[in-house]
């Protein structure tokens, strides 16, 4: 090399150090006594909310007045690890870059996809503001795929149509098959620009909601575990936003990352709040067999076909006119029906195993198209199945993908509870993204609507937080108005974690004989696997009362007591993943019970929920949102219907 290279300097140049003085380090330098807002989760919803807050006019005004609201974003993961990054297919918006489109068509498709369980006023916000949301993401740096003339490219996607169901429409903006990665990284990058303060690998164990004399709920704060040190902190906050993602790890076969343990949902339940429509879990039809890893719907959008053991292209039989691009629940159930009819195939990796898969055939696309449009799909198939999508049939199986239900919120992300036939807001508590339910997905989410939901309603929630902070008196740190509830909850949690690390007596020793050894042999990872298998057996894709009751009974009699007896196998608190896993599996158990109770209460089949014992939709009885609390009490909230009265949902 001809170039002369100076020796590396032993210390960083001063100019660079100065440039980043405000954002050094991954944990807050100083934990404040009180925060104006704490956002839990750093995926699409949490980051969108952070930006929505910091870029709002209200925040600008506060800055000009010399106010500097204290805002903290907590994540149980490191930056950029959130599951948003795995989303492949796209984000829907009626931009009309490829062909004429209209947001009313997007609205109609969303409602039809939801099996008329979406609140139509919320779905209208989603569809109407989708184009601005996508443009905003482009301005934030997302490397969208482009049309020849430089506009954001759009592709076909299941359930998205023109003219109210007449024909498929190119509505889904995409970035090859890495749209989630692009959005996650671009939003994080913008947060770096704005100087957002993060606390990484902090796990929220408790949400503190206090009731006033009238029974109204007020968010007071959080208890968090700093997993780096093992230290428990009580954090007081005037506003809390939950953006913790879904609960796919309830099921053994899932496309979700290992961290999707329903934490925000469980926090809400444990704080005495309800979950809305939690019985609706979308199973993505094309999970790569026995890994659960998702093969993007784009694989079918680009022309992939599903074949049964006889080589029959069976989707035309179940969904004439839509075929392989029918809604996800329709395709998932069709696959299960083929498997039940004995026309399933075994995973070639396990040729003597159960014939519980069908084939995805991408061969007709040709190698060049595959590599250009579906690079991640091809890579996944090669890596994890050892197959060549240009030559081989690919075994696929429905995989738990998305929880439509969640923490009930209004259009501004404010959490509410349903009591005495009305919505009662929880003051200072917000949510957005998959952990929430604003009810745009109803009983079944349309593909490419989840990133849209998270970014759009996340941003709205952030703006609402800013408005609330502006309207409130600046918090006086000197004032001794703190509620003891947060400190009390932190003390209680500290004690629990000390017990997990150093059990005073061998756990379970009260049940003489097998108890002691059972408890120390057992662990959170095994319990999570057992719960996943149980839920998969009784609640995946299809269910009935007997199975749901059996699953609920098994959780109450066996799994929850096992969860209560768990202890850690190392007493070192720093980076003790097992402690986090114990808290996570307890969260999963809490959410699982609510899910089973809600599924059992809904005596109909709608969208993603298929009850063998109630196979028909029942609009008379159940055109309503289930509202389920931790005591399994289910009440019903009517669906908001504005423009589109329920019709049959034929694909």
Partner 1 sequence: MTIAATDRVLSVTLRIARFTPKPERAGRRRGGSPFGSKSPFGGSDAGARSNRVRGKRWTQDYVVSAHASDSVLDCLLAVKREQDPSLAFRYSCGHGMCGSDAVAINGTPTLLCTAKVRDWAKPDAPEYANEDGFRPTGEPLDSSDRAIDLDALAPGTPLVIELAALPGFPTRRDLIADIDPMLDQIRRLKPYLQASGDLKTTPNGKVDAFEYLQNPDQLKRYELLSNCIACGVCEGSCPVYAGGEAFVGPAAMILSSRFLNDSRDGAGAERLAALMAPDGSAACQSVRACSMHCPKGIDVGEELWQTIQKVDAAKAALK
Q: How far is the CB of 145 from partner 1 (least distance, A)?
A: 7
CB-CB contact of 381 with 88 (8 Å): no
Q: Which residues of 337-368 are buried (b: 16+ CB within 10 A; e: fewer)?
A: bbbeeebbbbbbeeeeeeebbbbbbbbebeee
User: What three-state secondary structure class fits 629?
Assistant: coil
Q: How far is the CB of 572 from partner 1 (least distance, A)?
A: 5
Count of Cβ atoms closer than 10 Å to residue 310 Cβ: 9
What token pair was written down for 366? 């040709």
Q: Please identify, using beta-carbon distances, which residue of 586 and 606 lies nearer to partner 1.
A: 586
Q: Please identify, using beta-carbon distances, which residue of 389 and 413 lies nearer to partner 1.
A: 389
CB-CB contact of 609 with 599 (8 Å): yes
Beta strands at 422-431 and 240-242: parallel, antiparallel or unpaired: parallel
Nearest-angstrom CA–CA distance, 360 and 336: 14
Beta strands at 275-276 and 422-431: parallel, antiparallel or unpaired: unpaired
Nearest-angstrom CA–CA distance, 183 and 273: 31
Q: How far is the CB of 206 from partner 1 (least distance, A)?
A: 19
Q: Please identify, using beta-carbon distances, which residue of 24 and 476 lies nearer to partner 1.
A: 24
Q: How far is the CB of 79 from partner 1 (least distance, A)?
A: 6
Q: Please identify, using beta-carbon distances, which residue of 200 and 277 lies nearer to partner 1.
A: 200
User: C-alpha distances in angstroms, 149 versus 137, 145, 153, 418, 568?
Assistant: 19, 11, 10, 50, 58
Q: Please identify, using beta-carbon distances, which residue of 511 and 572 lies nearer to partner 1.
A: 572
Select which of 171, 220, 328, 562 is catalytic. 328
Q: How far is the CB of 84 from partner 1 (least distance, A)?
A: 10
User: C-alpha distances in angstroms, 17 versus 79, 107, 479?
Assistant: 20, 49, 36
328 in catalytic set: yes
Burial of 647 (0-12, 13-18, 19+ CB in 10 A): exposed
Residues 6+ apart with CB under 8 A from 645: none
Q: How far is the CB of 227 from partner 1 (least distance, A)?
A: 10
CB-CB contact of 463 with 56 (8 Å): yes
Nearest-angstrom CA–CA distance, 157 and 302: 9
What token pair was written down for 287? 């999970």
User: C-alpha distances in angstroms, 523 versus 253, 537, 584?
Assistant: 20, 22, 12
Q: How far is the CB of 115 from partner 1 (least distance, A)?
A: 30
What token pair was written down for 219? 């968010």
Q: How far is the CB of 277 from partner 1 (least distance, A)?
A: 26
Nearest-angstrom CA–CA distance, 323 and 315: 5
Q: How far is the CB of 146 from partner 1 (least distance, A)?
A: 5
Q: Please identify, using beta-carbon distances, which residue of 395 and 462 lies nearer to partner 1.
A: 395
Nearest-angstrom CA–CA distance, 137 and 540: 34
Q: How far is the CB of 104 from partner 1 (least distance, A)?
A: 20
Q: Please identify, using beta-carbon distances, which residue of 257 and 605 lies nearer to partner 1.
A: 257
User: What three-state secondary structure class fits 618?
Assistant: coil
Query: What does the angle CA 486 – CA 258 – CA 582 come to, to the nearest 5 degrees?
Result: 45
User: C-alpha distances in angstroms, 510 versus 146, 516, 517, 582?
Assistant: 65, 8, 12, 21
What token pair was written down for 154? 């759009």
Q: How far is the CB of 340 from partner 1 (least distance, A)?
A: 25
Q: Please identify, using beta-carbon distances, which residue of 15 and 479 lies nearer to partner 1.
A: 15
Q: Please identify, using beta-carbon distances, which residue of 146 and 423 lies nearer to partner 1.
A: 146
Q: Please identify, using beta-carbon distances, which residue of 120 and 190 lies nearer to partner 1.
A: 190
Nearest-angstrom CA–CA distance, 160 and 361: 22
Q: Please identify, using beta-carbon distances, which residue of 6 and 342 lies nearer to partner 1.
A: 6
CB-CB contact of 70 with 36 (8 Å): yes
Q: Which residues of 461-497 are buried (b: 16+ CB within 10 A; e: fewer)?
A: bbbbbbbbbbeeeebeeeeeeeeebbeebbeebbebb
Catalytic residue set: 328
């Amino acid at each position: 090399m001809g170039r002369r290279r100076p020796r590396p300097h032993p210390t960083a140049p001063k100019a660079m150090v100065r440039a980043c003085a405000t954002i050094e380090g991954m944990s807050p330098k100083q934990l404040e006594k009180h925060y104006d807002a704490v956002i839990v989760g750093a995926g699409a919803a949490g980051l969108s909310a952070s930006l929505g807050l910091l870029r709002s006019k209200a925040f600008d005004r506060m800055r000009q007045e010399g106010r500097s609201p204290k805002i903290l974003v907590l994540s149980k993961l490191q930056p950029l690890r959130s599951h948003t990054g795995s989303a492949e297919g796209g984000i829907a918006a009626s931009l009309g870059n490829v062909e004429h489109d209209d947001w009313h068509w997007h609205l109609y498709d969303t409602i039809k996809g939801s099996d008329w369980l979406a609140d139509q006023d919320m779905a209208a916000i989603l569809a109407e503001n989708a184009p601005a949301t996508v443009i905003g993401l482009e301005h934030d740096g997302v490397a969208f795929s482009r049309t020849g003339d430089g506009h954001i490219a759009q592709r076909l996607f299941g359930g998205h149509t023109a003219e109210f169901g007449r024909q498929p429409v190119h509505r889904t903006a995409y970035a090859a098959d890495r749209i989630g990665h692009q959005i996650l990284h671009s939003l994080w990058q913008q947060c770096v620009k704005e100087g957002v303060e993060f606390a990484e690998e902090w796990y929220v164990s408790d949400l503190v909601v206090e009731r006033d004399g009238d029974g109204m709920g007020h968010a007071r704060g959080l208890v968090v575990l700093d997993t780096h040190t093992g230290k428990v902190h009580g954090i007081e906050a005037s506003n809390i936003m939950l953006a913790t993602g879904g609960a796919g790890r309830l099921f053994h076969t899932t496309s979700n990352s290992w961290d999707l343990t329903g934490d925000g949902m469980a926090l809400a339940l444990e704080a005495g709040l309800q979950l809305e429509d939690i019985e609706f879990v979308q199973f993505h039809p094309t999970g790569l067999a026995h890994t659960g890893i998702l093969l993007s719907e784009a694989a079918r959008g680009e022309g992939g076909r599903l074949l049964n053991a006889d080589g029959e292209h069976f989707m035309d039989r179940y969904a004439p006119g839509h075929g392989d691009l029918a809604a996800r629940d329709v395709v998932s159930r069709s696959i299960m029906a083929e498997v039940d009819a004995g026309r399933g195939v075994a995973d070639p990796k396990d040729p003597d195993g159960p014939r519980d898969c069908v084939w995805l055939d991408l061969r007709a696309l040709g190698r060049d198209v595959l590599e250009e449009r579906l690079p991640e799909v091809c890579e996944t198939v090669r890596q994890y199945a050892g197959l060549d999508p240009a030559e081989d049939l690919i075994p696929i199986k429905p995989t738990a993908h998305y929880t439509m239900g969640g923490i009930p919120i209004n259009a501004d992300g404010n959490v509410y509870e349903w009591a005495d036939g009305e919505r009662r807001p929880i003051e200072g508590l917000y949510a957005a993204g998959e952990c929430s339910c604003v009810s745009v997905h109803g009983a079944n989410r349309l593909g490419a609507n989840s990133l849209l939901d998270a970014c759009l309603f996340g941003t709205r929630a952030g703006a609402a937080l800013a408005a609330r902070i502006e309207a409130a008196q600046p918090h006086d740190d000197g004032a001794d108005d703190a509620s003891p509830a947060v400190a009390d909850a932190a003390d209680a949690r500290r004690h629990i974690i000390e017990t997990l690390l150093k059990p005073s007596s061998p756990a379970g020793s009260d049940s003489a004989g097998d108890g002691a050894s059972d408890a120390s042999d057992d662990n959170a990872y095994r319990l999570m696997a057992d719960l996943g298998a149980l839920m998969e057996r009784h609640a995946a894709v299809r269910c009935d009362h007997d199975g749901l009751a059996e699953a609920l009974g098994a959780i109450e009699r066996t799994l929850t007591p096992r969860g209560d007896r768990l202890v850690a196998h190392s007493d070192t608190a720093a980076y003790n993943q097992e402690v986090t896993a114990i808290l996570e599996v307890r969260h999963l158990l809490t959410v699982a019970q609510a899910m089973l109770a809600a599924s059992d209460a809904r005596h109909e089949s709608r969208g993603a929920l298929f009850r063998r014992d109630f196979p028909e939709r029942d609009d008379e009885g159940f055109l309503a949102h289930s509202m389920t609390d931790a005591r399994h009490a289910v009440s019903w909230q009517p669906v908001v219907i504005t423009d589109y009265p329920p019709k049959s949902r034929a694909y």
